[in-house]
Structure 1
Amino acid sequence: MADITTFTQIEKRATPPVQMFYCSVCTFPPEYCEFGNSLSKCKEWLQTQRPDLYEKFYSEEALKAKLGTISQEAQSKLEEDTAKKEAKAEAKADAARKKKLASQVVIKRIERNKRKFVTSIRGLEAFGVDLKKAAKLFAQRFATGGSVTKNAAGIDEIVVQGDVSQEIYDMIAEANEGGGEDGKGGKKGVDILKGVLIDNVDIVEEKRKKDSEQ
């Protein structure tokens, strides 16, 4: 008698995706904030946003359970190292803020020949703007050429064909409307320009030298 093999069809069910929660200060999962450079700020944020997770990781019971496995000497060193890391990170962030406040963006309207102009933009990189992406944005917005080149001083700048200096100034203002120094806020579509302080943007004009002056 022939053997009869029976096949049972197994129903496949999709595994639901795991919902991850990240700290908006250091961008790590809350359980890893201690390995970053801003633990104090992370704890303050977590206590406000997710009190349940704060209790899980930083309640008196949680800390006792964690610290109970290490010596008092190691605990003191850990706290000291954490404080040093935070102070170093804060000093670095403060230096970056001061550098940003002192940086200038210069939009220059340059006359090439009679009735023909180009517009150069220098200094955007100091505010974290990707120059290549910004050049592409300007080229698309004005349907013209836009590229990143080095000027006579060897500094990278964006050069856009045409007289669009005021329009570019307005785009920067629009991108940062309602935003702060951290680059948050502003309007979509010009997100690439977020973080630029509009008070630090100047428009200047460079006229073509006459043949007798060249």
Structure 2
Amino acid sequence: MSDDEAPLPPQDWPKTEVRDVIYCAGPPEYCDYGQTVDACRQWLAQEHPEMFARLWPELDLQKTMEGVTLTDAEGTEQKKPKETKAEKEKKKKASARVTIKRVERTKRKCVIAVTGMENFDVDLKKAAKLFATKFACGASVTKNPQGLDEIIVQGDVQDDIYDLILETWEQVPEEQIDLTEGKLKK
């Protein structure tokens, strides 16, 4: 630029409003990735509800649906009953099963896999230790291919384990114990 040219006038840019969340000091779009997600959401819902509705529509919908009631045929209002935590646990225990599976290995060797005992508040390590001492065999807690914990007991003690479970843990009902046979896949 030479001395005889005039400088350009400053350009007028449109003003933009940048809203930073006071908890995470960043834009609201990044609140999900921070450590103060709940505080950021509460602040945004109070201060800028339109942005809250745009960023978290499912939470905004839940908030608006909290006061909704059901009406029956006569027009009387009913509140939808919420399941308590105890009822949910009761349903879970009612559908839970303990499976004692005899799995063939090589020749005349077999192992017993016991799954589902954690649903009845049984400490699996203590149960494996009890099986090992009671039947003088190896017993360990492992994860099966589905990602669930199971107790592997070496030896053919399927019926004895069934009886021991009924004697030791009263919270495991007899009708929720299954005895099955299976083959070990290589």
State the TM-score, normalizing by the size of structure 1.
0.46
Mapped to 2, the partners of 1:100 and 1:145 lie a distance apart of: 29
**Contact preservation (8 Å) 1:106, 1:204:** yes
Alignment of 1:170-209 (within 5 A): 170-174=163-167, 190=168, 193-208=169-184
2:132 alignment partner, one of 134, 139, 152? 139
Structure 2 counterpart of 1:197, which letter?
P
Larger Rg: 2
Misfit runs of 4+, over 3 Å: none
Note the residue ranges of structure 1 that are not aligned, 5 or more in a row: 1-86, 175-189
Aligned to 2:48: none
Structure whose residues are more often helix by fraction? 1
Mapped to 1, the partners of 2:106 and 2:182 lie a distance apart of: 12
Note the residue ranges of structure 2 that are not aligned, 5 or more in a row: 1-80
1:148 alignment partner, one of 141, 152, 171? 141
Aligned to 1:125: 118
Matched, 1:100 2:93: yes
Mapped to 2, the partners of 1:208 and 1:124 lie a distance apart of: 21
Q: Deviations over 1:74-121 (max 9, x none)?
A: xxxxxxxxxxxxx98x82112111110100111000101111010010
Mapped to 2, the partners of 1:130 and 1:208 lie a distance apart of: 26
Percent identical:
55
**Contact preservation (8 Å) 1:172, 1:198:** no
Mapped to 1, the partners of 2:184 and 2:164 lie a distance apart of: 26
Structure 2 counterpart of 1:199, which letter?
E
Structure 1 counterpart of 2:139, which letter?
G
Aligned residues: 106
